[in-house]
Amino acid sequence: MIVREISEDNINKSNKKKGIKALTPYLFLLPHLIFFAVFVVYPFFYGIYISFTEFNLMGEPSFCFLNNYTEIFTFGSKFSKDFFSGLLHTFIYTMTAVPLVVFVPLILAVLLYAIKNVKIRNFFQSILYSTSILSVSTVVLIFTWLLDRDNGLFNNLFNVDINFKGNEVLTWVAIISLTLWSGVGGNMIIFLSSISSIPKSQYEAASLDGANVFNRFFRLTLPSLRFPLTYSLITGVIGGFNVFGQPFLFGGKVGSYETVMMRVYEYAFGTSPMAGMASAMSVLLGIIILFVSIVQFRLMREK
């Protein structure tokens, strides 16, 4: 009888230990889950709710059902013009910046991989990646100084008089350039890591078969990068449609570079806040991003 009680106690203790061990991973995840729920999940659903209301950030939200969405899709209304003009500018930015931020790092990764000296490769890799750790505001300040009409390095170095902020095309060029300069490092590291994982024996076999540099790139390197390319393109498109800091800080509030997120910011935190309308625009932008990402993923997977 005593032996049975001791064995049962041992079994209970072992079960408790197993239970504690099973809960341990979840305890480590708990802080992240709480942070995710408070700062991501709750704002996500609250934003959707606010999009069906009239809300000026001060009083209580007043439910108006689909009025905000109806205003956006009413042809000729101010809200419709603001949203769709912002969407057009966002689309121009995304279609210009994303291919550059994906394919320029790809070329740099291939060139770095071709460097046989590891120390030299690591040196250039560190320099190219260093721009990725800078914040958007820091990058914009650097380019503002470089491209300033009176005291900028570019105009003084080349002895020219170019007003990058006085011409909308040049402003777009500057915004795309600073985006590329700051975003080239992250994708380059991803591509370089993927290229390094390709067995060298495959390149050697391709060389013996008479494949030149271009054949090896398009028939061996590029197919091996289909997953990193898919990831970079999808995340790039999502980031492109959510662009705010670069055009807002460099271009200002008025011009052909006003994106959807800039319109959302103006409606949400302007002199006459309309948080309901801003939320409705954000929801529509999220739906567009989701649709584009799904289509993009399916096309990339098929190819």
For the cut 60, the answer to whether the pLDDT of residue 7 exceeds it is: no
| 79-302: CATH superfamily | MetI-like (1.10.3720.10)
Q: Would you call 62 helix, strand, or coil by DSSP?
A: strand
Give the confidence band of 3 by pLDDT, cuts at 50, 70, 90. very low
Element at 72 (helix H, strand E): helix 67-72
Give the tens place of pLDDT for each residue, 98-152.
999 999 999 999 999 888 888 898 899 999 999 888 999 999 999 988 988 888 8
Q: Taking a C-beta distance cutoff of 8 angstroms, is the pair 75, 244 a contact?
A: no
Least confident of 63-67, 69-73, 200-204, 223-227: 200-204
Per-residue model confidence (pLDDT) at position 297: 78
Give the tens place of pLDDT for each residue, 241-291.
999 989 888 876 666 778 999 999 999 988 888 999 999 999 999 999 999
Pairing mode, if any, of strands 53-54 and 62-63?
antiparallel
For the cut 70, the answer to whether the pLDDT of residue 303 exceeds it is: no
Q: Taking a C-beta distance cutoff of 8 angstroms, is the pair 90, 243 a contact?
A: yes
Q: What is the token pair recorded at 63?
A: 């439910």
For the cut 90, the answer to whether the pLDDT of residue 68 exceeds it is: yes
Give the confidence band of 168 by pLDDT, cuts at 50, 70, 90. confident
For the cut 60, the answer to whether the pLDDT of residue 8 exceeds it is: no
Rg of the chain over CA atoms, in angstroms?
26
Per-residue model confidence (pLDDT) at position 170: 87
The angle, 0 to 180 degrees and rounded to 10, between the axes of the packed helices 168-196 and 78-114 is 40
Per-residue model confidence (pLDDT) at position 230: 86
Cα-flanking dihedrals φ and ψ of residue 54, to 5°? Answer: -105, 120
Q: Taking all residues of the chain, what is their mean pLDDT, rounded to a whole number? A: 85
Per-residue model confidence (pLDDT) at position 90: 93
Give the tens place of pLDDT for each residue, 183-240.
899 899 999 988 888 888 877 777 777 777 778 888 888 888 888 888 898 899 999 9
Q: Taking a C-beta distance cutoff of 8 angstroms, is the pair 139, 131 a contact?
A: yes
Average pLDDT of the segment spanning 68-93: 92
